[in-house]
Amino acid sequence: MAKFFEEPSRTFSEYLLIPGYTGPDCTPDKVSLRTPLVKFKKGEEPALSLNIPMVSAVMQAVSGTEMACALAREGGVSFIFGSQSIESQAAMIRKVKATKAGFVGSDSNISPEDTLADVIALKNKTGHSTMAVTENGKADGKLVGIVTSRDYRVSRMDKATKVSEFMTPFEDLIVGDENITLSQANDIIWDNKLNQLPIVDKNQRLVSFVFRKDYEDHKSCPLELLDDKKRYIVGAGINSRDYAQRIPALLEAGADVFCIDSSEGFSYWQAETIRWVREHYGDTVKIGAGNVVDEEGFRFLAEAGADFVKIGIGGGSICITREQKGIGRGQATATIDVARARDKYFEETGIYVPICSDGGIVHDYHMTLALAFGADFVMLGRYFARFKEAPNKVVTVNGTYMKEYWGEGSARARNWQRYDVGGEAKMSFVEGVDSYVPYAGRMKDTLDLTLSKITHTMCNCGCLTIPELQRDAKVTLVSSTSIVEGGAHDVVVRDENFDSRAK
């Protein structure tokens, strides 16, 4: 007879936190959201930690280069999607790693033989008015000048005019060498009243730019997640098929941490992938695994050598695994169960394996609940897909700006490796949908609000760190009636738009 779990499978919306004592020193500005990303031994520090407990999902519609840089700036990590060729994924990793804090790679490049019409077209495409003029028109070419909006007037110039005729030539530029520090670069910018400083190597090839406008941005990002070379930390998704070719290429490109991207992690193939990594790289390469939903699945991956374990099957907003297969578990129940398994494993072995709650996050407070239930960090897809920095397109649907959002198990992604169970190299049926999410603009604005909610809630619970929240949080189940009570009820909510029209 099948094994039956006595407790029902529950979601985050079925729980609330009970306030704890808030002392005079328990204020949001004193809360630390730092949390381990990879496993560590008792008494030691993890090799990689997050400054905020959030990572972006291994998805085509979520984790590209711009998102990776933006999230690392705020203290989190993106896992660049693996459902692409090894070469293109490695190129994305290189682009992120080429971006030091404050040093921006050029994505607007043009050659001296191009024309004003080409400049206008490129500006419309990228939105950037500063363009590097290189001999070959590529980002790594020899720098021969730059073009800014001050170098031309569209209304008074022939669009066939060559760039070489109106660009600022290299000999008139102030540049920095590739060994310059960000502080030195900013000093040059301010001393010479520049808007940007091109950085070149000894062969005059363009390395990056430092922009005046980024100065305040970087001063306001104290949680930036950087490696020892001041480059952004970036992760990469891999599968359990071509890892022997993909991992070396991504390591060479600079990937800091890997995640096996799979809908179900309690499998021979994930254990084999981790075994191969340990055989070839020992513990120097960091690799997470998943997804699992119970103690047995966690124990399997922890003993296989995973650096972190992801929790969640079928809880994502675009995931229909539960509908298609009837397999999965409520995200709250799964997180509680796996957290207990993680703590038990730590007591037995002295090795702490961080766990990541992946899916089932509908509201911001669900993130705080996931942390209180034992998750060390959360992985988010829909949340990040809404932002400008995500690689998906902005479209209009019925007059409303939306962003396209599709699951890795959808027909659009065709990521059969994610659902591989050792059969043929194809998808027999889909486990994800193609959808839209409301466009939310720049990530930082919304992320700051989300983090504020988390830190304020932690203070309401009397906790200043995530370990304190996991240890001291008080949680209650809620009835369906009390869920209704928790929102606006028994009133007519004012419609601000109606009020303004009435005036």
- Lowest-pLDDT range, 117-121, 124-128, 134-138? 124-128
Place of tokens 């999902």: 57
120 pLDDT more than 60: yes
Higher pLDDT, 319 or 3: 3
Q: Which residue's entry shows tokens 């999607």?
A: 81
List, for residues 323-344, the tens digit of each pLDDT value.
677 788 999 999 999 999 999 9
What percent of the chain shows pLDDT beyond 70?
A: 92
The pLDDT, as a whole number, for residue 28 is: 96
More confident residue, 209 or 104: 209
- Of the candidates 310, 362, 342, the one whose C-alpha atom is nearest the C-alpha of residue 14 is 362
Q: Determine which of 262-271, 344-353, 375-384 has the lowest per-residue pLDDT on average.
A: 262-271
Q: Closest by alpha carbon to 131, among 176, 172, 93, 163?
A: 163
Among 14-28, 87-101, 176-190, 405-419, the least confident range: 405-419
* 19, pLDDT greater than 90: yes
Q: 417: pLDDT confidence band, cut at 50, 70 and 90? A: low
Average pLDDT, the chain: 90
Mean pLDDT of 50-60: 97
CA distance linking residue 478 with residue 485, whole number of Å: 10
Instruction: Give the integer Cα–Cα distance in Å for 365 and 398.
Output: 30
Range 159-175 average pLDDT: 94
Predicted local confidence at residue 499, as pLDDT: 55
Give me the pLDDT at residue 424, please: 57
Q: Please tell me the distance from the alpha carbon of residue 261 to that of residue 122, in angstroms, as a whole number.
A: 35
Least confident of 102-116, 214-228, 370-384, 389-403: 214-228
Could you read off the pLDDT of 239-256 as tens digits, one per residue?
A: 999 999 999 999 999 999
The mean pLDDT value for 484-491 works out to 78
Rounded CA-CA distance 71/444 in Å is 9
| Cα–Cα nearest to 33, from 448, 476, 475 | 448
124 neighbors 138 (Cβ within 8 angstroms): no
pLDDT-derived band at 282, boundaries 50, 70, 90: very high
- Asked if 418 is an active-site residue, the reply is yes
Predicted local confidence at residue 52, as pLDDT: 98
pLDDT digits (tens, 9 = 90+) for 355-365: 999 988 999 99
Q: Is residue 423 pLDDT above 70, yes or no?
A: no
Question: With 80 as the cut, is the pLDDT of residue 67 above it?
Answer: yes
Residue 155's pLDDT is: 87
Among this protein's residues, is 259 annotated catalytic?
no
Is a pLDDT exceeding 90 seen at residue 408? Answer: no
**pLDDT at 101 (0 to 100):** 67
Catalytic residue, candidates 73, 299, 386, 418: 418
The sign of the dihedral angle between the CA atoms of 99, 104, 107, 112 is: negative
Say whether pLDDT at 487 is over 90.
Answer: no
The residue among 64, 446, 444, 27 whose CA lies nearest residue 224 is 444
The residue annotated as part of the active site, out of 221, 259, 319, 459, is: 319
Stretch among 71-75, 183-187, 271-275, 473-477 having the lowest mean pLDDT: 183-187
SS3 at position 224: coil
- CA-based angle 51:287:62, to the nearest 5? 60
Look at residue 338 in the predicted model and tell me its pLDDT: 98
Instruction: Please name the amino acid found at residue 321.
Output: T
Q: For the stretch 131-154, what's the b/e string if a residue is b when 16 or more beta carbons lie within 10 angstroms of its beta carbon?
A: bbbbeebebebbbbbbbeeebbee
Specify the higher pLDDT residue, 22 or 104. Answer: 22
